[in-house]
Every structure is written in structure tokens, then in C-alpha cells.
Structure 1
Amino acid sequence: MGRISIREFYDDDLDAVVGLWWEARASSEHPVYSLNEVTASCREDHAVVAVHDGKVIAAAVGRAAHAQGWIVFFGISEHSRSENVSGKLLDALERKMAPLGLSTLSVLIPEGGRLDLLTSNGFQSRDALRYLERQMPVQRRELELLKDVGGRILPRHLWEKVAGMRGEKQLLEERLVAPLAEPDLADRYGVVPPRAVMLFGPPGTGKTTFAKAIASRLDWPFVEVFPSRLGDGNTSMAATLRSVFERIGELEHGVVFIDEVEEIASQRSDPPTPTQGVTNELLKIVADFRDRDGMLLICATNFVRGLDAALMRHGRFDYVLPIGLPDAEARGAIWRRYVPEEIAHDIDFAGLVAHSDGLTPADIEYAARRASQDALARALRAQHDGAAGELGASGERIHASQRPTDLSTSDYLEALSHTRATISDEQQQSFLEDIETLARL
């Protein structure tokens, strides 16, 4: 057997390292780091190889994170394993990374990996440690593209923050989220993941909130397309819409949201209206989305019965889902969002929920903010009156009754009495009729 030599990694060694990675993947020692990460560290960080008869038989790849070094990949050909090779390889990598001032050199190995090759070379096993990882929603190459199309990564847990509305959430979870998040499970039951969904309901009922919550639940980028911004005077609305979606189509995953879609998808007529061309373009875009994996188009409208009939035809949108007024549980959660924590224990939330029946989330927010603003105004007046009293001839201290008071339930009820409901009885009745005639669950 010829002599085994250890040397630095050369670019020509990359194919051999890739081969070692795939060999490890095929065995019980599935590499912890992806092939992309390993090859990137070979080029940009630190790597050494073991060579026998001109052939690379082993490799160790490392990277530094502050004062800690990590072995990204440690692979030895199945036919060349020996403690001698592993020891020399690990020592060489350590010497190469030593000038970085590292305090430790660490390695993660999968269940079934050869611990002895590491423990015999000075590595100590730490018990009760678990390796966890989380995929980034957007890869680095997509960051500029996402910024270009006006997209963003939404905070996690928005789905959980949509309190109440259990029926709507269950429907969205079963129809949208589950098939997209677990495509293998959906395939087992013959479920085709949705590609386009229409949300409809009266204004202010939270359709945008639900769209964002779906993107957060899927951990996909959220891109909102605004119909009002499509016309710039230089190009047609249809051309602008097509250009925007061509750029969005370069993303690997994404939830694309068009609010108030009726602005570009109203009933076409004869003679043609100025928006008829953009309606035709939207129909093509919906058809294109149906051929894309990893993308979901969500449209929202306040006037579902005014949409073009071709857009609402079967085969365009997988589901047409109603989003109505918040139920009691949801109203309670909305109130708690706007009532200051330090006074929440003194507030009759059950009473506020009962008196806000029939209001939208935006209506409740208005009432809560009005109550807070009125309380602030009282506090400022009390401070002013108190200061004036101190400067007056009496010199008396301000009485407790004159001090600023905290918000109370009566303040919120008073604000509610001045809050006009966004949704009239007629609109609510029309919404219920639309559910019967147009909803597709």
C-alpha cells in the first residue's frame, strides 16, 4: 500500500469531496450539513484532504464562528478507514485553523456515526445535546429579488395571533395550509395543493390579516400587489401587471396577495372598459399559477358579485372563501390587544364583547383608541388645572378626585356609543347571500 499524504484542499479536489459526501449520505452517516454548504466552505473557509496514489480518499472541512470552530464535513472513503488517516486529517485541519484563535473545535454527527474516529482523536462527547435547525424562508440569491418586488418576510406566529374565528381558521388550515406545507401527505390522499384562492367579505373584516397569517404559517415570503399602483402613465396596467408577476415568478416560494381585486377584475362589458385588458391579463396569470409549485395567489374582494364571471369560473380559483365579522372570541382578543395591560384586570371584557357585536376589527380598534385618546385629554386637562391651582392664591393640594383617572369599562362603552358600524344590516345580509350563491369551500 502506498503512502497516504495530507495536504490542503485544491479546487480540483471538489469532485472528490462531493463524491465522499454522497458516499456518506448513502451510509448511516448522513451528513449534517448540506452539499451546498460543504462545497462553499471548501472554497471559502478551510479544508484539507488525504490522498493515496493520487486519489482523494478523505476530507475534513471546517469554518470558524467567533472563537468556535465547526467541522462542516468529515468524510473518509469506506475502503480507506483507519484511525491513522482520521487522526492525521483532523490534526491537519486543527493546525490550519489554529491561527484564528479558536477556543474549541466542534463537530456534529448523526445517529449511527463513527464516534470512535473522533473520540480516539481528542474529541469529547457531550451528553444531552440535541441538534436543531430551521430553514431560512428566503435564500441569499433571492433577497434582492424579494426587495425588488416589494416582498417581505413576515413575523412567525401571526397565525396563532388570529384569535377566535375558529371555523375560518380550520377551513384555511385544512384547505390551504396543510396541502401546501405537507405535499407528501396531501399526495397520499390524492389532494392537489391549491394555487389560487379568493377571499371575500365586507370591508374591514380581516381578509388581509388572514392572507398574512397564511404566509406566516407557511413561512413563505409575502408579496402584495396593489392594483392602484399598476398604472404609471408610460405602460399599460396589463403590461405592468405582467412584468410584476414575471419577477415574482423567479421566487422559489411565495404568497402573492392582491387586495381589492375588483379594481382590475370587474365585469367586462361591451364596449370595453379601460380595465378590460388588465382583467384579461389577470386571467392568464391565474392560469399560470396553476402550473407552479411553491406559489399561492390570494385575491381579496369586498364585492365578490361584481367580479368578472370568467374569473369566478371553476378551474380559476380552488376555493372562494367567506371572511365575515369577528365572533365573540375574536372580539375579546381584539379588545385585549388595545386595552393597556396595567388596567386590564379591572375591565369587563365580556361586556365590551357583547356591546361590540356586529362591529369589524377596525371598528373595535377605533373605539378602543378613542377611549384612550379621551382619557389622555382628561389627564392633560387635570394636569393643567392642577398646575393652575398651585399657582393660585389658595395653595391647596390637588384632591384625588382631580387627579388623572385610569381608563375604565365605562370609557370604552362611551366610545362604543359614538362608533358607527362599518357594516350595515343590508351589507351583512348581502354577504350571507353571497355565501349561499358564490362561496366554494
Structure 2
Amino acid sequence: MSKATIREFRSEDLGRIVTLWDATQVPGREPVYGLSEVLASCHADEAVVAVGEDEDVLLGAAVGRAAHEQGWIVYLGILPEHRSQDLGGRLLDALERRLAAHGIGTLCSLVPSHQPEALAVFTDSGFALEHELRYAERRIPVQGRDIALLRDLGGRILPRGHWDAVGGMQKEKELLERRLVMPLARPELAERYGVVPPRAVVLFGPPGTGKTTFAKAVASKLGWPFVEVFPSRLGGDPAGLAAALRETFSRIAELEKAVIFIDEVEEIAAHRKGDPPSPLQGVTNELLKIIPDVREQSDRLLICATNFIRSLDSALLRHGRFDYVLPIGLPDDAAREAIWSRYLPGEVATAVDVPALVAASAGLTPADIEHAARRAAQGAFERAALDEDGTEHRALATEDYLQALRSIRPTVSEEVVADFLEDIDALGRM
């Protein structure tokens, strides 16, 4: 079954909306909003649709309108045969992004009690049920002026399913959820037990192990805006990197909530040494001043990632600046299986010996595995393209992938892995 594409409603979709409406109604039950209201909102308000390869058929649609500070979902419909897919959540996310531009603060829906499958779509997408009317509400993380500010900062709201999309790595996910997500998502419960929600953490590990992915997953799980700070881009500021860094964090402080991410932080926070001081020492000093400011703000989480934790300035890792220093290692068996499933074409996935590929890719990063998968696919494509006799071409097989794995050089050496394990004991703070 092909993956559905979400796009905005077009005028030529009107007849398809009617067909979808007919296919999603429960005989003998009155909907909350009638067809005429749905069609009117398609034109006058906001609407998104889901289509497959054949755009003549709508697989689903979500229609909503803004009323003062609330957005109301007028219609959410999915063809019965496609309800097993995560279309409902994706449609709601797409509709929310369009309604958020109207300055709404919450997204609401009235769901008939005779439609438990529709109710499940809302609860699975982060809506809270209110009262006996089955009133579902979800708070929009970015509202009003924060929308323009977030856009200027290059930030974004990540899909809510990003956390669940991280396959395997259960040890790392459990650690991040318990140490970071739970105290920040439930501050009242944390306060009751004397737990101070974290404000700044370091993720460390070999290159390509998914530290950025985990930072994004935390933001997705919290439902907070994700803002990545790129020191290399700030370096061109006429005022200098240190001043640009301070200005950027001052603007981020205006957001109601934020997960702030700095990758390869060692580039601006390496050991300070030398006489006279290097220009980067001023940047390191500025970062050391910024972290306490971030810690004083609620609903903030600064995540710094590094491939070389030993190179960080010792002052940066002292207690009181970062709450946790958490290791992120190479993908485990379950994670490698999830990565392989992402890159195996659907028509060959069932014929390939995935456990063999998982075993053969031990010690590889996600990028290594992606490279091997693409190399095997490219080889098969070239054989088919250059074969001019018109015979039926052999499909991709397990050996194609194993051969590709044998031909690549792992990103992470055994020496780097050994250093990483030592760093966990010496510098990790969990």
C-alpha cells in the first residue's frame, strides 16, 4: 500500500470530499457538522487532504475553522480501508499548522460517542478528553507572535510521531524519557517529589550515532518548538560570533517554550589554553555565561551534542551547568532492524534475510547502513539499465546487501568505541 501524501485542499477536490463524506458516515447517526458546513469550510476556512498515487481518490481529509483563540475541527474523515495507517494524526498535524497562522491557542473537536475509532485518533494524537461530551482539546505549542519569531530563528515544530519513529535504542530512549521528558512534561508531579526539571544536558557519543535524532525526538515528545543553533552560521555576523550567540539566545528567550540544540558544541567550547587567548575562547566564555541564563528560564531545555567529549572545556562539564551528560552509542539490533526496514524496497523486504543484515551491520552507524543499502540498490539498478537483451532482471537479494556491507569502511573504529566506553565511566552523568 503506497504512502499517503498530505496536501492542501483544492477546488477540484470538492466532489471527492462529497464521495469521502458518503463513505465515512454511520447510517442512522447524525454527524456533528453537516455536509453543507463541511463544504463551506473547505472554501472559506482551512482544509487538507490525503491522497495516494491516484489523486482522483481522497484517502482522508481534515477541515477546520478558527474562532477567536480556538480552532475547531469541522470534519475528519478517512476511508475505512486506510484507517490502520497513521493518517489521522498526520492530517490533524497538517491542519493544525494551517490554523495556527490564525493565532489560535487550542485545537478542539466534538466527537460523537458512537465513533470510538474517531475518538482514538484524537487521543493518540495528544488530545485530552474533557467532560461527557467527548470534547477533545490539544494545546498548540506555538501561538501568536511566537510563530513569526520561530520562523525567523529557523526553528520548527516536529511531527508528534518522531519519538515513536526512533526504532530500537530502548535503553537510550528510556533514559531520555525518564530524565528529561517526564519531569518537563509533568512539572507539578516533579515538584511534589522535589525533582528539579532539567534545563541543560549533553549528549555524547561517536559520530553518526543519532544524537541529533534523539534531540529532535525529545522535542517531539514534549511538543515543544525545536530551535537548532548553528555557530558556523553566526560566525559571519559583523558583531562577532560571541555577540551573535548572545543575541540568538536572547531572542529564543522570548519563546514560550523551546528545545534548543547545539550540535558539535566542541567547535565553540573546546579546552581554553594558549597565551594570548584564541578568538574562540571569548565564544566559550560567552557560552558559559549563557547556560546559567537558560537555567533560570522555565520551559527551556538546552541540548548540546558532541562527538569528542574529552575536548570540551572542563568548566563546561562542572556540576551546576549541565544536569546530565548522557551517552548515545551505536544502534543496537532492534535499531539496526528498523533502519534496514526503512531502506529495503517494499517488493524485496519480505525476500531479504533481515536478521542476517542486522548481524552483518553490527558496529555500523545509521549513515553506514544507509550507504550500504543505497550502494546495493544502485548496483542492481545499473545491472538492469545496462542489460539490453530484455530479459527479466534479478531482484535485489540478501547477498547484494551483504556484498555492499563488505565494501564499506565503518565510520566508527574499534578504538573510538573503546574511548567511548571509557568516557561513559569517566565523564558520563546519568
Following superposition of structure 1 onto structure 2, how do residues 184-195 of structure 1 map, counting pairs within 5 Å? Answer: 184-195=188-199
* CA contact 2:216–2:226 (8 Å) conserved in 1: yes
**Deviations for 1:39-86, whole angstroms, at most 9, x for unmatched residues?**
xxxxxxxxxxxxxxxxxxxxxxxxxx77x999x9xxxxxxxxxxxxxx
**Deviations for 1:145-183, whole angstroms, at most 9, x for unmatched residues?**
001111011111111111111111111010000000010
Residue segments in structure 2 that go unaligned for 5+ positions in a row: 1-63, 71-108, 111-130
State yes or no: 1:297 paired with 2:286.
no
State yes or no: 1:436 paired with 2:428.
no
State yes or no: 1:365 paired with 2:370.
yes
One-letter amino acid of the counterpart of residue 309, structure 1: S
One-letter amino acid of the counterpart of residue 211, structure 1: A
Following superposition of structure 1 onto structure 2, how do residues 254-293 of structure 1 map, counting pairs within 5 Å? Answer: 254-271=258-275, 272-293=277-298
Report the identity percentage: 62
One-letter amino acid of the counterpart of residue 354, structure 2: F
SS in 1 for 2:213: helix
CA distance in 2: counterparts of 1:253 and 1:373, whole angstroms: 44
Q: Corresponding residue for 1:416?
A: 405
CA distance in 1: counterparts of 2:169 and 2:406, whole angstroms: 25
SS in 2 for 1:351: helix
Distance 1:128 1:243, change over 3 A: closer
Report the CA distance between 1:217 and its aligned residue.
Answer: 0.4
SS in 2 for 1:151: coil
SS in 2 for 1:255: strand
Report the CA distance between 1:372 and its aligned residue.
Answer: 1.0
Q: Corresponding residue for 2:394?
A: 405
SS in 1 for 2:399: helix
CA distance in 2: counterparts of 1:405 and 1:131, whole angstroms: 55
Report the CA distance between 1:405 and its aligned residue.
Answer: 2.1
Q: Corresponding residue for 1:144?
A: 148
* CA contact 2:237–2:244 (8 Å) conserved in 1: no
Q: Corresponding residue for 2:106?
A: none
Report the CA distance between 1:128 and its aligned residue.
Answer: 8.6
CA distance in 2: counterparts of 1:417 and 1:187, whole angstroms: 52
State yes or no: 1:339 paired with 2:344.
yes
One-letter amino acid of the counterpart of residue 218, structure 1: L
State yes or no: 1:203 paired with 2:204.
no
SS in 2 for 1:346: coil
**Deviations for 1:168-204, whole angstroms, at most 9, x for unmatched residues?**
1111010000000010111111110000000000100
> For 2:179, which of 175, 179, 191 is the aligned residue?
175
CA distance in 1: counterparts of 2:414 and 2:290, whole angstroms: 36
CA distance in 1: counterparts of 2:412 and 2:386, whole angstroms: 35
Residue segments in structure 1 that go unaligned for 5+ positions in a row: 1-64, 73-106, 109-126, 387-397
Q: Which moved more, 1:404-413 or 1:169-178?
A: 404-413
**Deviations for 1:308-340, whole angstroms, at most 9, x for unmatched residues?**
010010000000000000100100000001001
Report the CA distance between 1:285 and its aligned residue.
Answer: 0.9
One-letter amino acid of the counterpart of residue 308, structure 1: D
Q: Corresponding residue for 2:30?
A: none
Report the CA distance between 1:130 and its aligned residue.
Answer: 1.4
Distance 1:142 1:439, change over 3 A: same
Report the CA distance between 1:270 and its aligned residue.
Answer: 2.8
Pick the structure with greater CA Rg.
Answer: 1
Q: Corresponding residue for 1:349?
A: 354
Q: Which moved more, 1:259-268 or 1:373-382?
A: 373-382
Q: Corresponding residue for 2:324?
A: 319
SS in 1 for 2:316: coil
SS in 2 for 1:250: coil
CA distance in 1: counterparts of 2:198 and 2:346, whole angstroms: 40
CA distance in 2: counterparts of 1:142 and 1:377, whole angstroms: 49
Report the CA distance between 1:278 and its aligned residue.
Answer: 0.5
Q: Corresponding residue for 2:257?
A: 253
**Deviations for 1:336-378, whole angstroms, at most 9, x for unmatched residues?**
0100122111111100000000001110011011111111111
CA distance in 2: counterparts of 1:269 and 1:133, whole angstroms: 54
SS in 2 for 1:414: helix
**Deviations for 1:8-57, whole angstroms, at most 9, x for unmatched residues?**
xxxxxxxxxxxxxxxxxxxxxxxxxxxxxxxxxxxxxxxxxxxxxxxxxx
One-letter amino acid of the counterpart of residue 236, structure 2: D
CA distance in 2: counterparts of 1:69 and 1:370, whole angstroms: 52
Q: Corresponding residue for 1:225?
A: 229
**Deviations for 1:378-422, whole angstroms, at most 9, x for unmatched residues?**
11112xx13xxxxxxxxxxx4xxx322221111111110111100
CA distance in 2: counterparts of 1:214 and 1:128, whole angstroms: 32
Question: TM-score under structure 1 normalisation?
Answer: 0.67
Q: Corresponding residue for 1:427?
A: 416
Distance 1:128 1:375, change over 3 A: farther
CA distance in 2: counterparts of 1:288 and 1:233, whole angstroms: 22
One-letter amino acid of the counterpart of residue 345, structure 1: T
CA distance in 2: counterparts of 1:323 and 1:187, whole angstroms: 28
CA distance in 1: counterparts of 2:427 and 2:297, whole angstroms: 26
Report the CA distance between 1:233 and its aligned residue.
Answer: 5.5
SS in 1 for 2:422: helix
**Deviations for 1:81-127, whole angstroms, at most 9, x for unmatched residues?**
xxxxxxxxxxxxxxxxxxxxxxxxxx98xxxxxxxxxxxxxxxxxx9
Distance 1:347 1:155, change over 3 A: same
Q: Matched residue pairs, number? A: 307
CA distance in 2: counterparts of 1:322 and 1:265, whole angstroms: 18
* CA contact 2:333–2:358 (8 Å) conserved in 1: yes
